[in-house]
Amino acid sequence: MNRKQVRQILKDTDYIHTSGSAEELKAARYLQEVCGKLGVTARLEAFPVEMAEVKSASLEVTGRDGRVRSIPCKGYKLCGSGKWEAPFLYLPDTDPASLSKAAGHIILIDTGVGYFGYRDLLENNVKGIITYDGNVNFRDRDIDQKELRPFVVDGERKLPAVNVNAKDAFALVKSGAQSVTICIEQEESAGESHNVVAELPGETDEWIVLTAHYDTTPLSHGSYDNMSGCIGLLAVMDALRGKKHRYGLRFVFCGSEERGLLGSKAYVAAHEEELPKVALNINLDMIGTYMGRFIARVSAEDGLVQFIRYFASMRGFGIKASGGVYSSDSTPFADKGVPALSFARLAGGNMAPIHNRYDTPAVLSDEQILKDCDFITAFTAGMADAVKCPVKREIPEKIRKELDEYLGRKRRED
């Protein structure tokens, strides 16, 4: 993999490709084609996803003076259709005392909508939800298209929800809005997303699985998050193809990660019988920015954290390695008992923002991508050539606790 190839891949995938869309399938087939050009056959593995098309959405606000004005918004996908009117309340926190004031209101919150938080809203008789994103100081008036994830609802009643720009959220609170009316019309349907899977067989029947997601959020072209990680997988594939390793290498380009790790969850579910033969998962999610530090988040024994630190130090490669759960496709593997880790170069929202229009090829350094890929390739080759993968096949209790909290099986204690 060279700079010209890196820049060509970024150019060819410089468009929005969200979960279940025709554009996501186009990106999947493109990655399949690139694997083929490297001499490695790749296949598409389909899995179901719930889809929705929002036909219309509106948010009307009644102020202190009784005047009604419209606020630009986007209705949450999968939250249902209808018209809802209720008093307005800004809820800066969702502690019990704050929630006690929320009954019968449509609320504005500063956060997203998670599993336990959603149940708290239902139990306190909240009538609807307004969220926001963006920045009050940026010129754009972008509004992200969000969804009420099926995992979050999980059989419960659906609350109407809309998303607005941060500037309008600020204006709602500053103006003392009294009541709001939400109208949403949408069509829900069954859809399909895809994982792209390619293999370099080894001398044994055991595997190291490398993952990276290729889908984007609705406003983002996803160059940093996460075509950069996909380039990392392709670079490892290119460097190690044609060489025999003890462990086979399986490359999984995951679809629908941005909707709750749906691609990796689908993969581990479909291949559960094979997982005992997977010694390690190496996930790449965002590398190669001009600025930012390289990190490793390890969902496995502490010994692997120390090994990564030593390995990086021996190569003169700066890294921040720690144990825990990373919000990416390594998590479903760890949840199934497969030692897993994620590599990333985190630049921060001011230098390389994600999930908005500013995630483009411009934030990425070809040189840094290749340097990151060289390190990842060396680490992968070392594991693939091991007489026996030294990582214990057990997930520490403290990480299992984090997995339970992240995946919504237990409420966070804090």
Same domain, 75 and 137: yes
- Do 297 and 388 fall into the same domain? yes
pLDDT digits (tens, 9 = 90+) for 90-130: 999 999 999 999 999 999 999 999 999 999 999 999 999 99
Q: Is the dihedral of CA 221, 224, 225, 228 positive or negative?
A: positive
Is the pLDDT at 414 greater than 70? The verdict is: no
Could you report the per-residue pLDDT of 44-83, keeping only the tens digit for each? 999 999 999 999 999 999 999 899 999 999 999 999 999 9
* CATH for 142: 3.50.30.30
Ramachandran region, residue 355 (left: φ > 0; alpha: ψ -120 to 50; beta: rest): left
User: Once rounded to an integer, what is the mean pLDDT over residues 314-331?
Assistant: 98
Could you say which DSSP state residue 158 is in? P
Report CA Rg, the chain. Answer: 22
The pTM of this model reads 0.96
Query: Do 199 and 183 belong together in one domain?
Result: no
> 95 and 219 in one domain?
no
The average pLDDT across 371-387 equals: 98
Rounded Cα–Cα distance for residues 262 and 383 (Å): 27
Q: Give the CATH number of the domain where residue 354 resides.
A: 3.40.630.10
413 in a domain, yes or no?
no
The residue type found at 84 is W
What pLDDT, on the 0 to 100 scale, is given for residue 219?
96
List phi, psi (to 5°) of 121. -65, -40
Q: What is the pLDDT of residues 288-311, one digit of tens each?
A: 999 999 999 999 999 999 999 999
Domain that holds residue 71: 63-188
Q: How many angstroms separate the CA atoms of 92 and 162, rounded?
A: 17
pLDDT-derived band at 413 (thresholds 50, 70, 90) equals confident
Indicate the number of domains in the chain: 2
d(CA 153, CA 119): 8
Q: Where are the beta strands (DSSP E) in 201-287?
A: 207-213, 248-254, 278-284
* CB neighbourhood size of 346 (10 A): 17
Report pLDDT digits (tens) over 170-181. Answer: 999 999 999 999
Q: Rounded mean pLDDT of 231-244?
A: 96
- 332 sits in which H/E element: helix 330-335
User: Residue 58 domain-assigned?
Assistant: no
Same domain assignment for residues 377 and 248:
yes
pLDDT digits (tens, 9 = 90+) for 243-287: 889 999 999 999 999 999 999 999 999 999 999 999 999 999 999
Residue of 267, 283, 262 lying closest to 196 (CA atoms): 267
Question: Based on the number of CB atoms within 10 Å of its own CB, is 111 exposed (0-12), middle (13-18) or buried (19 or more)?
Answer: exposed
Quote the CA–CA distance of 159 and 148 in Å, as a whole number: 9
Question: Residues 173, 196: one domain?
Answer: no
Is 389 among the domain residues?
A: yes
Cβ contacts of 235 within 8 Å, gap of 6 or more: 1, 370, 373, 376, 377
Query: What are 23's two structure tokens?
Result: 């554009």
Closest CA to 369 of 330, 343, 342: 343
